[in-house]
Amino acid sequence: MMPLINLPSIIIVNILLILGVANSESAYAKTNQIIDIAYLTQEQVVPPSLSNLDPFIKDKGVIGAELGIDDDNTTGKFIGQQFNLKRIVVPIDGNIIRVFDKEISKKFQYLVINLSASQATQLVDLPAAKKMLLFDVGTIDDALRNEQCRSNVLHFLPSRAMRADALAQYMMKKRWTKWFLVVGSRQEDLLFANALKRSAKRFGLEIVAEKTWDHTYDKRRTAQSDVGVFTQLEDDYDVLVVADEQGQFGEYLDYRTWVPRPVIGTQGLAATAWHKTHEQWGAIQIQNRFKEKAHRWMEEQDYAAYLAVRAIGEATTRTKTNDLSKVKEYMLSDSFALQGYKGNPLSFRSWDGQLRQPILLAAPRSLVAVAPIEGFLHPKTELDTLGYDQPESLCKWNKE
Amino acid sequence: MKNKYLVFFLIMALNATVRAESVFVTLEKDNALAVIDPIAGKLIKTVPVGQRPRGIAISPDNRSLYIATSDENIIKILDVETLKEVGRLPSGEDPETFALNPAGDKLYVSNEDDSLVTVIDIAKKKVVKQITVGVEPEGIAVSPDNKWFVSASETTNMVHWIDTETNAIVENILVDPRPRAVKFTEDSQQLWVTSEMAGTLMILDVKTRQIIKTIKFQVTGLTADKIQPVGVVIDKDNNRGYVALGPANRVAVINAKTFEVEKVLLVGQRVWNLAFSPDQKRLYTTNGTSNDISIIDLENQVVTKSIGVGSYPWGVVVKP
């Protein structure tokens, strides 16, 4: 079936290719607008891990931002806009505020932050930060979207409440109405457990038992027998719901429970903004482009940072301006629609700056469902069945 | 043994397809092509065609089918009668959609992963040129007067106007988010473009190459984000256009003179691509997730039938 190799014709084709690409350069517009974006993160201490299967990824987030810049510039070159990304990584023992003052303050309008909730909280109220638009691609805290919300911050990762609602919708559909909630002892685990309790109440599901996993995390000791004993309950339950964000014990639960029950939550079937098993709605294309660039799978923070940079691109391209107030107004308007490879157009909730988006429910090697689950209805958009809807929101920045 | 059956089936197939019109549908997940007799309302057969077949076109003389088998990075040429492969075209990587020029001697392919459009000389089976366009080019069309071909890039949100003589981009027009399909009217005066994320159809004037009208689709009982326009066709006389609304499971009927949406017709799930019958009295739709095609009677504007065809029906062409 292969045609015989014909050398001269290959050379001709190659020449044509070069001419072709060179030729279409003339279709590009002259650069008349430069949009500078800063990306701020801090080096992370490698956390303890259960296994070597998933190597620690140092550059989660930033490669997504870089891919976003590539895509912005592809559009930009046709209409005379140029997007630049400055990547700033603060060393582990460095001071974020100091780095911000020195390298970012007064130099940038757009700042993508991949920081912890406490670091982000310190940063957002700085007078210089108040004059910028911050794109949070690192936190999932509901407090930052409610009581502690700030009008200069947009959030790209789904909050814990959104994730818990996504899981609860799926469990409701499966009629797994009786939950056994297992919670780790870290602060984040408690926050996620609270989100799960909120969802259970919201969707009328019952938590028949709740236990804290405070055993030793050493697998060589009695993990297997521990889980068996730990999961013996007086009341029967349909599903074990786990809150272990760091992954310190959750992986031990599946297949080891006293009675055979599925595991869902932070392990087993998990809720996430992005997953390597996701291929629908053109996702395979961005998975391929990302892997080619990063030589690894796209993580949630990469996806969030990609969307943040693309949101800046989309808004500045559509408004044909780099004026921050106009760009922000457009982003929060009904006209804004960001393509996020998850079927629905993505947009921001005007009441708390959260990006509304579908949430993937994924097992390690299989995409199980995409929330909002069919049948959960909303008068405006079904995406707002996930997380804090406008009437429930505690964010007051609209009334500032 | 096997050959005997094959000959037998071929004769059967020939007998069945010789006179009535045939509908050919690519089945993305079955790696196959479905052959349907729409008058009898029957699936006649499915034949394997290669990995992940999506885009499909038929030559102007109705003798050859072109099918993009995306995962094989090739466009296959099939004999319409035997449905045997008779040749291959170098399509560039991951071909999805493509368009033939009116003469049927050139083929324009979107290479989604590489942000390229590849121009192929069919007789020579050679790449003539590759043109850099926006990110994730998808919809592609050649004007019936053969002056233009346009490529829509999904992530860059642009329609690129390319001169067929020079194969060079003349203008780039920003359109609504995630443009999917592009189609010229028969008189080459207008270009219709669908936007999946904004839920709109844009009409562009070919002379000025600018948007002259944007139609936002609405369906009672559905939230706006379920309405995701994809495939679009316009009848020969430019009376009506039809737009597949994706997961809204409906086809919109648009008055091509007034640009009013006259009707929405319920078809199968995630309706994707559309094709007219040769007399333009019927419209065939591929319904991605309900694994069937719907037949719409255009005189009465009603859906008359759905026919199960296989997994993920994608592209559709009709042979008289």
Q: Is the confidence at residue A2, as pLDDT, over 50?
A: no
Q: Is the confidence at residue A21, as pLDDT, over 80?
A: no
Interval A98-132: pLDDT, tens: 999 999 999 999 999 999 999 999 999 999 999 99
Domains of chain A, earliest start first: 33-48+56-157+275-357 (3.40.50.2300), 161-272 (3.40.50.2300)
**pLDDT at residue A29, as a whole number:** 80
Using 50, 70 and 90 to split pLDDT, how confident is the model at A31?
confident
Judged on CB neighbours under 10 Å (0-12, 13-18, 19+), A269 is: buried
Q: Which residue in A15, A24, A287 has the most chain B C-beta atoms within 10 A of its own C-beta, making it the best mutation to test that interface?
A: A24
**pLDDT at residue A34, as a whole number:** 95
B157/A288 CB distance under 8 A: no
**pLDDT at residue B92, as a whole number:** 81
Spans of chain B, pLDDT less than 70? 1-19
Q: What is the residue whose two structure tokens read 């429930």?
A: A392
Sorted by sequence, the CB contacts under 8 Å of residue A238 that are 6+ apart come out as A171, A175, A176, A177, A178, A179, A261
3-state secondary structure B62-92: CCEEEEEEHHHCEEEEEECCCCCEEEEEECC
What does R_g of chain B's alpha carbons equal in angstroms? 18
Q: Is the peptide bond before A372 cis (omega within 30 degrees of 0)?
A: yes
Interval A57-87: pLDDT, tens: 989 999 999 999 999 999 899 989 999 999 9
Q: Count the neighbouring beta carbons within 10 Å of the beta carbon of residue B45.
A: 17
- The whole-angstrom separation of Cα B134 and Cα B152 is 8
Judged on CB neighbours under 10 Å (0-12, 13-18, 19+), A203 is: middle
**pLDDT at residue B93, as a whole number:** 82
- Residue A15 corresponds to which tokens in the numbers above? 């020449």
Which residue of chain B is at minimal alpha-carbon distance from A379?
B223
Strand pairing report for B64-69 and B53-58 = antiparallel
The verdict on A343 touching B (C-beta cutoff 8 Å) is yes
Q: How many residues does chain A have?
A: 400
* Minimum distance, in Å, between the CA of residue B98 and any CA atom of chain A: 17
User: Does the structure's ipTM exceed the value 0.85?
Assistant: no
Sorted by sequence, the CB contacts under 8 Å of residue A393 that are 6+ apart come out as A145, A146, A349, A351, A352
Using 50, 70 and 90 to split pLDDT, how confident is the model at A15?
very low
**pLDDT at residue A6, as a whole number:** 47
Q: Count the neighbouring beta carbons within 10 Å of the beta carbon of residue A293.
A: 15
**pLDDT at residue A7, as a whole number:** 44
Q: Is the confidence at residue A351, as pLDDT, over 60?
A: yes
Give the residue from B182, B184, B297, B296 showing the smallest Cα distance to B236: B184
Interval A147-184: pLDDT, tens: 999 999 999 999 999 999 999 999 999 999 999 999 99
- Residue B20 corresponds to which tokens in the numbers above? 């009535």
User: Long-range contacts made by residues B163-166, C-beta under 8 angstroms, separation at least 24?
Assistant: B164/B101, B164/B106, B166/A23
Q: Which residues in chain B have their CB less than 8 angstroms from residue A9's CB?
A: 126
Calculate the alpha carbon distances from A168 to A11, A201, A372, B123 in Å.
Answer: 60, 10, 10, 58
**pLDDT at residue B176, as a whole number:** 94
To which H or E segment does residue B159 belong? Answer: strand B158-163
Using 50, 70 and 90 to split pLDDT, how confident is the model at A216?
low
The verdict on A288 touching B (C-beta cutoff 8 Å) is yes
Overall average pLDDT of the A223-233 stretch: 77
**pLDDT at residue B221, as a whole number:** 87
**pLDDT at residue A165, as a whole number:** 98
Prediction pTM value = 0.86
Mean pLDDT across chain A: 90
- Residue A355 corresponds to which tokens in the numbers above? 């990006």
Q: Is A169 helix (H, G, I), strand (E, B) or coil?
A: helix
To which H or E segment does residue A167 belong? Answer: helix A160-173
Q: Is the confidence at residue A283, as pLDDT, over 60?
A: yes
* Minimum distance, in Å, between the CA of residue A380 and any CA atom of chain B: 6
To which H or E segment does residue B25 belong? Answer: strand B22-27
- Residue pair B274/B233 in contact by the 8 Å Cβ criterion: yes
* Minimum distance, in Å, between the CA of residue B277 and any CA atom of chain A: 29
DSSP B268: S
Q: Is the confidence at residue A241, as pLDDT, over 70?
A: yes
Q: Is the confidence at residue A89, as pLDDT, over 50?
A: yes
How is A51-110 classified by DSSP, letter by letter? -SSS---TTTTHHHHHHHHHHHHHHHHHHTEEEEEEEEEE-TTS-HHHHIIIIITTT-SE
- The whole-angstrom separation of Cα A295 and Cα A305 is 17
Instruction: For residue B210, report the phi and psi dihedrals to the nearest 5 degrees.
Output: -105, 160
B128/A16 CB distance under 8 A: yes
Strand pairing report for A110-114 and B74-79 = unpaired
The verdict on A79 touching B (C-beta cutoff 8 Å) is yes
Which residue of chain A is at minimal alpha-carbon distance from B124?
A9
Complete edge-to-edge strand list for the sheet that includes strand B179-184:
B179-184, B190-195, B200-205, B211-216
Q: What is the residue whose two structure tokens read 């926050």?
A: A191
A20/B131 CB distance under 8 A: yes
A78/B172 CB distance under 8 A: yes
- Residue B21 corresponds to which tokens in the numbers above? 């019109």
- Residue pair B244/B230 in contact by the 8 Å Cβ criterion: yes
Give the residue from B202, B209, B205 showing the smallest Cα distance to B182: B202
**pLDDT at residue B167, as a whole number:** 96
